[in-house]
Chain A
């Protein structure tokens, strides 16, 4: 009987001591966390895409509660959802223009020559390491669709010619395609940037056109036709100065002989100039 009493007494005392320790530790080591962070995080889409510039939704919620950023920076949430967050925190929504990923290449299989068959892993990053992938144009899209695979929002699909097409409504400008592309063809732009050079080839004239029928040949007609300083030829490629975006119009694209400079309509249509070469070919070019 004495043994049982000793054991029970000992366990009770031990339990009490540990309980006191736990209470003290709770008081001493307590970290205050704003309960609003959890609530705001619950209102975020939890895509952890990084489009807002933070590592994920939790750090973004922390910044929102601290007032360091605006709810409008989340490009994945719908506008009404962001408005709920703004109302909850009592802050402005923050006007941020929708940004999308744009591809600076239009060299599909029907216009850009493939010079060598690549037979390794079906991935752009793998192909780019084997002699650049076999495309005649060493800047151009390889078309294995690493960007399509990496897109979390199904905002990219490969068209019949093997060129990724961005669905602007679904694109959240998270930047995953920008990172994954071994040729660095993607970049993030506000949707208001409608004038677009869909080429990265740095060769001049016939040399560029030799490998791709829609390459920028650096002829400079778009520079002549557009307002001063809007477009400039740098390293044999037309470069648009988007700080003068308000001056941009479809005039610049009209005389482009290859259709490398295009006007992107809000409904997703790609408008080429009147003088642009008409490509009727649907099938892929032969490998030569």
Chain B
């Protein structure tokens, strides 16, 4: 196991040599990328050309109070109270927390335990929707973020309830403030969408370009970033061309293509590809002066902040081979997955349902779970896929495929053996288990079908429990 030595230069960066592009070789050079990673089947053709549409409102919305990292929100409404679409229904509890807004006009039926994708029931607000109502957002107040102070923008971002819509669900306003003594120089806008099936970010870049650019400008103003780079995988070159044609010439915002490879959309990988910088293990991106935001988050920011509205809906991709009418939809937060699948139609050969992408998403145990702020898609797998996952597990043959796949250069083979030996302390102390972000590359390439990522998730859970 090679020990990674993080040597920072004078500007606090971790230098990486730029890729050589000399002579004839430049002819064969592809878009920049990171080391290792995998190429799963994309299946993006199912929905890539489907414009974002709206669906009818579900009769009841379930809005969990903890859809974000940090403390759960505190409800502001009572059972039986009528709420108007866009009205705040829960307030933030402290700084690392965000408020919630009513995704539809209706009446609060219940405040109690509701289903979540993670499994354990958690407090949620149940909103019975008035299906005949006009569903207008009446909570508008014009403001011009371009004229506001950075602190005011950050407060407005929190008030809008914005979290990372790419799947992280980390409150966006927290990311805008660099740690003391550090400054954010570069804003990286993540339009990679490296997960198979998902196309919602692709459609946002094509259809909500105005909002996206406005959001980038707001985020640059709030963070003090001097430039912004939109990173897009080169399977979406139409989005790159579309963005380049519309980006304002006088601003330092560029759109760059990066190689199509999983997990290109992980923030540390994208920084490596676009800037040639490496985020040292155990550090945040802000330590090297970079902030990463998802295109969906910034498009919502550009849309909501000028009207000081709250986040009440998001774009998701509903896809998978058994889906009859796959597409990209703007759905209210809290829509149950069951209602969504009824709307798009599902063939009888459907197997598992995954919230998010198939690589890092969460399999759901019940279709009653709602779409939350961090869900970027609903993927329905074929029943055969599920059986394929049940293939027999063989012992590790030390082929080293997982070492070639791990984007952060861990040793999944050794970690897997340690997990089977239940030596969780060594995994964490000597083999950097805590750096693993569970991208699933190792388990994907393993010829012995060893569920490596699942082992690592258990090991991390046990280590967490032990520390308590």
Contacts and interface: CB of A to CB of B under 8 A. Distances in A.
Tell me, yes or no, whether A binds B: yes
A203 B110 CA distance: 13
Chain A contact residues, majority secondary structure: loop
Interface in B351-372: 362-366
Given A202-B121, A203-B113, A120 B362 contact: no
Q: Which of A133, A134, A139 has the most CB atoms of chain B within a 10 A radius of its CB? A: A134
Interface of B: 112-113, 115, 117-121, 362-366, 386, 389-390, 451, 454-455, 457-458, 461-462, 465
Q: Which of B362, B364, B390 has the most CB of A within 10 A?
A: B364
A232 B368 CA distance: 31
B365 A120 contact: no
B390 A138 contact: no
Of listed A119, A131, A139, A204, residue having the most chain B CB within 10 A: A131
Interface residues of A, number: 26
Given A120-B451, A126-B454, A182-B461, A132 B120 contact: yes
Contacts of A132: 118-120, 365
Contact of A119 (B118, B362, B386, B461): B386
Interface of A: 115-121, 123, 125-126, 128-136, 138-139, 179, 182, 202-204
Contacts of B465: 179
A138 B386 contact: no
Contacts of A117: 386
Closest 10 CB pairs of A and B: A132-B119, A131-B365, A116-B365, A134-B365, A131-B119, A119-B390, A125-B458, A138-B121, A138-B120, A129-B457
A131 B454 contact: no
Contact of A115 (B121, B366, B461): B366
B389 A115 contact: no
Contacts, number: 66
A69 to B, nearest CB: 25
> Which of the listed residues A119, A203, A204 has the most CB atoms from chain B within 10 Å of its own CB?
A119
Given A119-B389, A119-B390, A129 B120 contact: no
A131 B353 CA distance: 11
Nearest to A179: B465
A116 B113 contact: no
A115 B364 CA distance: 10
Given A119-B390, A202-B113, A203-B113, A131 B118 contact: yes
Contact of A131 (B364, B455, B457): B364
A117 B351 CA distance: 10
A177 to B, nearest CB: 14
A123 B364 CA distance: 18
A125 B462 contact: yes
Given A126-B458, A130-B119, A138-B115, 7 more contacts: A116-B364, A116-B366, A118-B365, A126-B451, A128-B461, A130-B363, A130-B365
A128 B389 CA distance: 18
10 contacts: A116-B363, A119-B389, A121-B454, A125-B458, A126-B454, A126-B457, A132-B119, A179-B465, A202-B113, A204-B112
Contact of B363 (A126, A131, A136, A202): A131
B366 A128 contact: no
Contacts of B365: 115-116, 118, 130-135
A129 B113 contact: no
Given A116-B365, A130-B363, A131-B363, A121 B119 contact: no
